[in-house]
Amino acid sequence: MKSRLLRLAATAAIVGMLAACSSRPPAPPAAVPPLRPAAGAPSAPSAAPTSAPGPSGPLTGQPPVSKSRWVPASWNELPGFETDSLHEAWNAWLRSCERPPPVFAPLCGEVRRLSIASDAEQRAWMVERLQPYRIEALDGAVDGLLTGYFEPFLEASRTPGNGFDVPLYRAPADLATRRPWYTRQQIDTLPEARAQLMGRAIAWVRDPVAALVLHIQGSGRLLVREADGSTRLVRLAYAGTNDHPYKSVGRWLLDQGLVRDATWPGISAWTQANPQRVQEMLWANPRYVFFREEPLEPLDAAFGPRGAQGVPLTPGRSIAVDRASIPYGTPVWLASSGSAVQLSRLVLAQDTGSAIVGAVRADYFTGWGEQAGDVAGRLKQGLRLWALWPRNAPLR
Domain count, the chain: 2
β-sheet bridge partners, residue 319: 349, 364
Q: Residues 296, 168: one domain? A: yes
Q: Residues 159, 277: one domain? A: yes
- Over residues 11-42, the pLDDT tens digits come to 333 333 322 222 223 333 333 344 443 333 33
Q: What CATH number does residue 76 fall under? A: 2.40.40.10
Q: Residues 127, 160: one domain? A: no
- Is position 81 within any domain? yes
CB 127 within 8 A of CB 53: yes
SS3 40: coil
Q: Residues 164, 294: one domain? A: yes
SS3 49: coil
- Is position 58 within any domain? no
- Is position 59 within any domain? no
CB 100 within 8 A of CB 86: no
Which residues 6+ apart lie within 8 Å of 189 measured at CB? none
What integer pLDDT is reported at residue 396 of this predicted model?
59
- Over residues 219-262, the pLDDT tens digits come to 999 999 999 999 999 999 999 999 999 999 999 999 999 999 88
The strand pair at 231-241 and 220-225 is best described as antiparallel
Question: 105 pLDDT exceeds 50?
Answer: yes
Q: Residues 171, 284: one domain? A: yes
What integer pLDDT is reported at residue 59 of this predicted model?
39
Which residues 6+ apart lie within 8 Å of 275 measured at CB? none
- Over residues 191-207, the pLDDT tens digits come to 999 999 999 999 999 99
- Over residues 267-325, the pLDDT tens digits come to 889 999 999 999 999 999 999 999 999 988 777 788 999 999 999 999 999 999 999 99
What integer pLDDT is reported at residue 299 of this predicted model?
74
Domain final residue, candidates 300, 334, 354: 300
More confident site: 337 or 125? 125
* Pairwise CA distance, residues 141 & 69, whole Å: 10
Q: Tell me 102's DSSP state.
A: T
Q: Residues 187, 221: one domain? A: yes
* Pairwise CA distance, residues 391 & 128, whole Å: 8
- Is position 322 within any domain? yes
Which residues 6+ apart lie within 8 Å of 214 measured at CB? 152, 154, 168, 205, 220, 236, 289
SS3 22: coil
Domain final residue, candidates 264, 285, 300: 300
* Pairwise CA distance, residues 65 & 84, whole Å: 27
Q: Residues 321, 383: one domain? A: yes
Q: Residues 186, 249: one domain? A: yes
Domain final residue, candidates 300, 326, 350: 300
- Is position 99 within any domain? yes
CB 204 within 8 A of CB 164: yes
- Is position 275 within any domain? yes
- Is position 353 within any domain? yes
Structural domain harbouring 236: 152-300
Q: What CATH number does residue 255 fall under? A: 2.40.240.50
Q: Residues 270, 321: one domain? A: no
Q: Residues 83, 205: one domain? A: no
The answer to which of 4-13, 55-64, 180-189 has the lowest mean pLDDT is: 4-13
Q: Residues 245, 202: one domain? A: yes
β-sheet bridge partners, residue 385: 334
- Is position 60 within any domain? no
Q: Residues 107, 229: one domain? A: no
